[in-house]
Structure 1
Amino acid sequence: MSRAISRAARTRGMAEREAGSGPAAASPQARPVSVVGIGDDGWAGLSEAARALVREAEVLVGGARHLAMARTTGAERVAWPSPFRVDFVAHLAASRRVCVLASGDPMFHGVGATLVATLGADRVTVVPVASSASLACARLGWSTQTVALVSAVGRPLDTLTAELAADRRVLVLSADGLTPGRAAALLVARGFGTSEVTVLEHLGGPAESVWRGTADALAAAPERRFADLNVVAVVCGPGPGLSRLAGLPDDVYAHDGQLTKREIRAVTLAGLGPRPGELLWDVGAGSGSIGIEWMRAHPSCRAIGFEARADRAERAEANAVALGVPGLRIVRGRAPDVLPEGETPDAVFVGGGLTVPGVVERCWSALRPGGRLVANAVVAETEAELVRHRASYGGELTRLQITRATPVGRFTGWRPAMPVTQWVVVKPAGPEPGVTHP
């Protein structure tokens, strides 16, 4: 199979030359880009197909370590620029055969996926080797599909928090040799100091090594530096893990009273209905709880919160970090002025600004067809706005009433919270016959 792929690559090059599509005649769409994954065992670990792509390249692109592993002559070697970007690869490939060298499986949190998104799948050929996650699971005897994975490469390590739960197995792809210590410190800070930690260095290479201990022990030695090529494996000990389902306890949030309470929050998220990869607008973010629990529903969910008060915006950002979704974006300013043009959210929650002219109209206009809009009202004035908007856009109105047990002398009674009126509406996928817009 490797020889067949290699012959196909050589045949492709001959056909290009015979058709007059050599380097001088190539268009930006003429030449595919090869992406070859290399493990820590270097050239020796590559298949013949991968070696052929490297040898045939006129330009090799990669990090210094990867470029040093490539045994080829004649090709120009181009290191990744700092800051990292991939757009220049398209320029190089306009006239020459380009091979990009990457770690392990380039489609697994790697540059392969970025190149496909930039150039298109039809222009990128990827030849992977085993990923660091696959090698780590093989060494540890873990079933890969049962393991949570967090990448700290160019991403906040705080995303680890969302994966923590007793007995949970987590792999952390390290950014450098200090990542294991930082991960251990985070585990201790989140109440998981007794967790078992294994640091696997130089996986698949001749210098492979393993360190084992607890998060407490590793966090107590902050000066310890591992090899930059490492993966951190965690078996979580007992700790205060939080569910990914909506309705987290109110006391996990820092707030000034501007907080959608637990039961109402759960019903609100049910109406918003987060799906993987979707984007939420949280208008009037307050403590950030709606956006945070939207993002906790799935690692690929995204959210933007809009908050007029600077202190609340800062608090929402801090809550997002503490609850494992540091990617929550908070935009400071008043809606509708700060609502971005050209973005199409999949769902919108209006928790503030219902009485401000144009807020609901702007949100509805931006919402994609089939998207969901949810708005909550507590006082009569905002409830009247919901009734008015329902008359224009349709949807359902629901009155939510929560009553909690409370001491009454030596006995227990019931104290009702203020009722909440909720409007849930789905934007039609086609024209909206009969809709009278305000």
Structure 2
Amino acid sequence: MSTGSAVRWTGPRIPVIGIGADGWPGLAETSRAALRECSVLLGSDRQLALLPDEITGRRESWPSPLLPALPRLLADRDGSRLGVLASGDPMFYGIGTTLARLLGPESLRVLPQPSSASLACARLGWSLPEVAVVSVVGRPLPRLLPELAGGRRVLVLSADAGTPEQVVELLRRNGFGSSRVTVLEQLGGPAERIAAGIAADWREPPGDPLNIVAVEVAEEPGRLRLTRQPGLPDAVYRGDGQLTKSEIRALTLAALAPGPGETLWDIGGGSGSIAIEWCRTHPACRAVTFETLDRRRDQITDNASALGVPEIDVRGEAIGEITAGAAAGSPDAIFLGGGLTAPGLFDLCWSRLPDGGRLVANAVTAESEALLISWAAAHGGSLRRFQVYRGEPLGRFTTWRPQLPVTQWSVVRSPASQPGAVRKT
């Protein structure tokens, strides 16, 4: 069945064969037979070198960078008896997932080996379903941060020999120096090696580039607790004070209702708190934040990296960026936290929101509140008003200091939310 693949493939199904550090001896006969039939074999230099001379297909190393060149590379070999080598399980952060997206799964025959995560858990006695796995192969290391919480077990798929030291340094800088770190190299092969120690005392020199890092997370006393739940302490955000406060932030994220893999447009980013906490709820969540001021765009980028979601897309003024098509695709949700009174902004955002998409807007001025009331009259949804008081010292006593009241409108776009639609009362 067709899957709407990006590259047309008319040749025989491509065997995508996982190979471990044990090389040819570790392959099942099914995988060996598939390799013997290939006229062209693609893989890394290390993987191709593991094959014996009896495999006569022409060996080609992956180009660098790989992803931009891959569609043309596959198109040029359409119709050939092509085979692909991958590390361990090709569908676990491997080339198999990319090929399935480009060619469609019906074009592939995936023959996996145990993944590095499976082998690591086997050595450590860990339960794989209970372990967080973070890949830093071609991805920024700060993505590890949201997974760090006391008592958790985390596996880091390393980019190279330098990754373990980088992981250790990240743990030290962020209050996890007491964590136990284990580096597992060449798992399953004759050169397998395991080194372990405490992050704060780590002195191991860089070893083999084929490694995975295991972390038993331990928080240092007094460390500010940061979880994936919305409403992080205000103190973790740097900036000029343009910040949705933690209580309102938690209520706003609840209204936006992020789901795995969904995309948010955050209009008027400020310190980036809404986009950041949207992305922290799940590793697959994405966000585009629009902010007019250069200095605030810089602070959003800094905050996003410090809080473990460095891949947030930071853009300029919303109307210009959206109109120019800089923010490709449709958002699953939009947050209007700034610029509510900008002419045409709401209409533009509403036009880009698909049916089922959510829009949430917060107002703190009478003028912007009046707009929310008028939009709610036209499109439905829910209006709420929040007033937060915080206890503060007053001499020897405690008093309640009010924060600015916030009016919030939340709506789900549907045919019934369009102007002129008949609503049931």
* TM-score normalized with structure 1 length: 0.90
Q: Quote the residue 1:304 is aligned against.
A: 288
Displacement of 1:348: 0.5
CA distance in 2, matches of 1:126, 1:90: 17
**Is 1:277 equivalent to 2:251 in the alignment?**
no
Q: Quote the residue 1:235 is aligned against.
A: 216
Kindly indicate whether the alpha-carbon contact (under 8 Å) linking 2:378 and 2:418 is maintained by their aligned counterparts in 1. Answer: no
CA distance in 1, matches of 2:356, 2:62: 41
| 1:47-86 correspondence to structure 2 within 5 Å | 47-71=28-52, 72-85=54-67, 86=70
Kindly indicate whether the alpha-carbon contact (under 8 Å) linking 1:31 and 1:94 is maintained by their aligned counterparts in 2. Answer: no
Q: Quote the residue 2:150 is aligned against.
A: 166
Q: Give the superposed CA RMSD.
A: 1.6
CA distance in 1, matches of 2:125, 2:133: 16
CA distance in 2, matches of 1:389, 1:359: 12
User: CA offsets per residue over residues 288-331 of structure 1, 9 Å max, x none?
Assistant: 10011001101111111111111111111111111111111111
Q: Quote the residue 1:338 is aligned against.
A: 321
Kindly indicate whether the alpha-carbon contact (under 8 Å) linking 1:31 and 1:93 is maintained by their aligned counterparts in 2. Answer: no
CA distance in 2, matches of 1:133, 1:429: 46
- Shift in alpha-carbon separation, 1:93–1:429, aligned structure 2, 3 A: farther
Q: Quote the residue 2:4 is aligned against.
A: none
**Is 1:420 equivalent to 2:406 in the alignment?**
yes
1:189 partner letter: R
CA distance in 2, matches of 1:74, 1:139: 35
* 1:318 corresponds to which of 291, 302, 321: 302
**Is 1:410 equivalent to 2:392 in the alignment?**
no
Kindly indicate whether the alpha-carbon contact (under 8 Å) linking 1:33 and 1:93 is maintained by their aligned counterparts in 2. Answer: no
Displacement of 1:92: 4.1
Q: Secondary structure at 1:108's aligned position in 2?
A: coil
**Is 1:32 equivalent to 2:13 in the alignment?**
yes
CA distance in 2, matches of 1:28, 1:246: 45
1:82 partner letter: S
**Is 1:386 equivalent to 2:364 in the alignment?**
no
| 1:14-29 correspondence to structure 2 within 5 Å | 28-29=9-10
Instruction: Give the gaps of 5 or more residues in structure 1.
Output: 1-26
* 1:252 corresponds to which of 226, 236, 239: 236
**Alignment: residue pair count:** 406
* 1:268 corresponds to which of 252, 255, 275: 252
Q: Quote the residue 1:96 is aligned against.
A: 80
Q: Secondary structure at 1:134's aligned position in 2?
A: helix
Q: Secondary structure at 2:144's aligned position in 1?
A: helix
| 1:131-170 correspondence to structure 2 within 5 Å | 131-170=115-154
* TM-score normalized with structure 2 length: 0.92
User: CA offsets per residue over residues 40-73 of structure 1, 9 Å max, x none?
Assistant: 0001111111111111111100011111112344
2:119 partner letter: L
Kindly indicate whether the alpha-carbon contact (under 8 Å) linking 2:11 and 2:81 is maintained by their aligned counterparts in 1. Answer: no
Q: Quote the residue 2:355 is aligned against.
A: 369
Q: Percent identity?
A: 52
CA distance in 2, matches of 1:386, 1:130: 55
Kindly indicate whether the alpha-carbon contact (under 8 Å) linking 2:35 and 2:55 is maintained by their aligned counterparts in 1. Answer: no
